[in-house]
Structure 1
Amino acid sequence: MTSPKILVRDHMKSAAYTFAPTTSVEEVVKTLVKNKIIGAPVIDADKKLLGFITEQDCLKQILNDSYYCEDRQNAEDIMRSNPLSVSPNDDIMKLAENMTQKLPKIYPVVEEGRVIGLITRHEVLKALSLARVQVCSTK
C-alpha cells in the first residue's frame, strides 16, 4: 500500500517576513533576531523571488563590517541569488530527501514566480511524523 502524497502547500507557513533588496543588513538582523527566524526571502514589489538572506549571511557581513569598518550593505549585496525553492504542489517526501543532503533548512514556496510561503525542516519533520502515525495506525 502506498501512502498518499503529502503536499508542501498543506504544511507551509506564510512568508510573514520578507525583505526588499534595499533593506539594510542592520534592519535584516533586527528582524531575524526579534522574530527568531533563520532567514527570509528577498522579493521585489511584485513578490517575485530575488534571493534569500540568512543568519549566516548576516554573520559574515557583520564580522566583515566590524573588522574592516566597511560601509553598510543592503540585503541585495549579501543575499543568496537564485535560491532553491519549492512549489506548493511538491511532495514533502522528495523535499525531505533533499533536506537530508545538507541543503537549505528553509525553502521559499513559489507559485507562478511569486513567494507565497516558506517551509522549514521543522514543518517537514512534523508532516512526516503525522503521516507515519496515520499510516502505521491503519495497519
Structure 2
Amino acid sequence: MRVRDIMSSPVHTVTQTASVDSAAQLITVKAVTALPVLDAGGALVGMVSESDLLWHRVPVDPTAHIRRRPEADPADRPGLVVEVMSLDPITTRPDADVADVAETMLAHDVRSMPVVEDGAVVGIVSRRDILRAMVRGDGVLTAEVQHRLDEYAGNRRRWTAVAEAGVVQVSGVFEDDTEQGIVLVLARTVPGVVAVKIG
C-alpha cells in the first residue's frame, strides 16, 4: 500500500507569516493535528502542530513536574507561525510504502507527515490515516482485491483472492513473471492490505 492511496489531498497549509491565532483556528475548524508551513514561494519550511500553538498559551503550574518555558507577559507571546513552528519537517513521497512511513512516524514521534512531490506539498498522511486503512475488514479487502484482479483480467475470474488478517492470498495461473508482478502490485495497492502471497 502506498502513501498516495491514503493521504489527504489537497492539504490544508499555512504561511510562515500567518498569525498563531489563524493557524489555531484552521487546525480547529479542519480537525487536523498539524499544518505544513509554506514560505512566500510555496516551499515547505516547517510544520506547526497543536502542541506548538498551545505551548505559549498554557499557564505554568509551579507544582507540575513537566518542564515548561517560563511564563511570559501575554504581550510577549509569539504572534506569528514562524516563531512557533518546527523546522526541517520529516516528509514522505506519494509512492512511499505506508509501512515504512508508519515506522518513521513512530521512530521520530510525529503524528503526521507532509507528502512532497517535485518540491511541492501534494498531501499529508497522519497516524489516523494509516490506522483507518489498516482496520478494514477482510471481507472488504477480499472484495476490493478481487474486483481489481477481475478488471485487469477483462472481467473474467482468472485468479481468486482471499484476505485473512490483512494478508491476501492470490491463487490461479499466471502467463509469466511479469503478469504475476502486475497482480501483486494491484493487490498491494488496496488500502488495508498488509501483504500479498501467491500460490
Which consecutive segments of 4 or more residues in structure 1 shift more than 6 A? none
1:104 matched to which residue of 2? Answer: 110
Q: Does 1:68 align with 2:79?
A: no
Q: Which amino acid aligns with 1:83?
A: P
Point out where structure 1 has 5 or more consecutive residues left out of the alignment. Answer: 1-5
Q: Which has the larger radius of gyration?
A: 2
* Deviation at residue 106 of structure 1 after TM alignment: 0.7
Point out where structure 2 has 5 or more consecutive residues left out of the alignment. Answer: 59-68, 143-162, 170-199
Which has the larger helix fraction? 1
1:32 matched to which residue of 2? Answer: 27
Question: CA distance change for structure 1 residues 121 and 75 in 2, over 3 Å: closer, same or farther?
Answer: same
CA contact (8 A) 1:43 1:51 kept: yes
Q: Which structure's relative contact order is higher, taking Cα pairs within 8 Å and 6+ residues apart?
A: 1
Q: Quote the Cα distance in structure 2 between the aligned partners of 1:15 and 1:59.
A: 25
Question: CA distance change for structure 1 residues 19 and 98 in 2, over 3 Å: closer, same or farther?
Answer: same
1:1-139 pair list within 5 angstroms: 6-63=1-58, 67-69=72-74, 70-101=76-107, 103-130=109-136, 133-134=141-142, 135-136=163-164, 138-139=168-169
* Deviation at residue 50 of structure 1 after TM alignment: 0.7
Secondary structure at 1:109 match in 2: strand
* TM-score of the pair, normalised by structure 2: 0.60
* Deviation at residue 67 of structure 1 after TM alignment: 3.8
Q: Which amino acid aligns with 1:17?
A: H
Q: Which amino acid aligns with 1:28?
A: A
* TM-score of the pair, normalised by structure 1: 0.82
Percent of pairs identical after alignment?
Answer: 26
How far does the alpha carbon of each residue in 1:110-135 deviate from its partner, in whole angstroms, 9 at most, with x for none? 11111011101111122233497544
How far does the alpha carbon of each residue in 1:48-96 deviate from its partner, in whole angstroms, 9 at most, with x for none? 1110000000011224797422154211111111011111110001112
Root-mean-square deviation over aligned CA pairs: 2.4
Q: Quote the Cα distance in structure 1 between the aligned partners of 2:106 and 2:36.
A: 22
